[in-house]
Amino acid sequence: MDILQGYEPIAVREHDQVLFFLCQDGIMDYGITDKTSITMPYVNKYIPNAKIHTVYFDGKALHQIGYPQDVYYDYEDEVLEIQIATDKKDYKPGDEARVTVKVTDKNQKPVEADVNINVVDEAFLTLCEDNSDVISSLYAHAYGSGLVGEYLAAYNIYYGDGGPECGGEGEADFIRSDFKNTADFTTITTNELGIGETTFTIPDNLTSWRITCTAMDETLRAGKEKYNINAKLPFFISSIVYDHYLEGDVIEATVKTAGAQLSREDDVAFTAIIKQENGESSKVVTMGKGYQYVNLPIGKLPIGKYKITIIGECDDYKDGESFDIEVVETFHYFDMIMEDDLAEDLQIVSNGQDVQLRFF
């Protein structure tokens, strides 16, 4: 650190003295030197940041040196490197994916570390990107000086401004219904070779899944890495079905087909199966072309809960999706406040909306 007057370093003079002290929610260290350029080691107790206060004595008067300066930790040596590998790149819905993680330091030496693994639909991350930076957050500014006031016993009353400052493949043979934004969220610990493994089941989304690994060891070294895998089918349907309808709505399910094994000239048979809670079911069948939107006329349904399964078939290829829906009398709700004594058999009444409980 250099003591400046204006933008120029102050030359060392015979009676110069500099008092400096480092703070982190209170004074940690201090020193006095006759040099206007100060070099000091950055020790562990200053991590992640400290503030340095400086007072300059020119032989006649004291000068407080500008504002306290933040001294940050250079965490470059604390960054861990992560390698992510999977048993294959492309999967079908329902497949088991095996993820292998290897953690090393900057010298490629293996590190035993805890690794958080999350697997998220890339489409969801398009709406809400993960911009977290574990290493910079870990060593971010956390401490103030802790000083509530400062006072110089002697100062230069004539000193004005300008003073000193511190310078899709595979086969589909089941109905897809397990649609998730997050396929897996788990934590593993790597072994002495820096390697750890986990498995998870691919949900029914046909998408690109982003595997994000965040590692940290006991000495607070950390790192982050990401890797993508795909969930694909050679032929698949994509349906638009809402989860709630009003009594009297004329319900239609909109469905489209796509896939590497489908052309726009291919005929596609669509079937919608509507199953009631009592087990009774009905069926709607229609035809369409590849990559073409088709509306399946389900019609009006009485109040109740239903499972709608939509199946598309083209030659030897078949895919299906299943949705739970509910037909309700109204979408209008009013707040209801009830007061009762707390008991083991207390029944919580709900209209299907969120319930708030207050105890007093």
| Domain 77-135+171-231 architecture | Sandwich (2.60)
Cα–Cα distance, 113 to 193 (Å, whole number): 10
149-163, 212-226, 259-273, 339-353: which range is least confident on average? Answer: 149-163
Cα–Cα distance, 110 to 192 (Å, whole number): 7
**pLDDT (tens digit, 9 = 90+) per residue, 107-117?**
999 999 999 99
Residue 246, beta-bridge partner list: 328
Residue 353, beta-bridge partner list: none
Query: Residues 305, 325: contact at Cβ < 8 Å?
Result: yes
Query: Residues 270, 238: contact at Cβ < 8 Å?
Result: no
- Please state the pTM of the whole predicted model: 0.74
Query: Residues 113, 189: contact at Cβ < 8 Å?
Result: yes
Query: Residues 236, 206: contact at Cβ < 8 Å?
Result: yes
128-137, 244-253, 301-310, 329-338: which range is least confident on average? Answer: 329-338
Sheet containing strand 164-166, strands side by side: 8-9, 3-5, 164-166
Higher pLDDT, 118 or 43: 118
46-50, 160-164, 196-200: which range is least confident on average? Answer: 160-164
Domain residue spans of the chain? 3-75+142-166, 77-135+171-231, 236-328
Q: Do domains 77-135+171-231 and 236-328 have the same CATH topology?
A: yes
Q: Does domain 236-328 have CATH number 3.40.50.1110?
A: no
Residue (of 278, 256, 253) closest to 266 by Cα position: 256
Cα–Cα distance, 354 to 290 (Å, whole number): 42
Which DSSP symbol is given to 110?
A: B
Token reading at 87: 């048993």
Question: What is the reported pLDDT for 169?
Answer: 42
Question: What is the reported pLDDT for 236?
Answer: 95
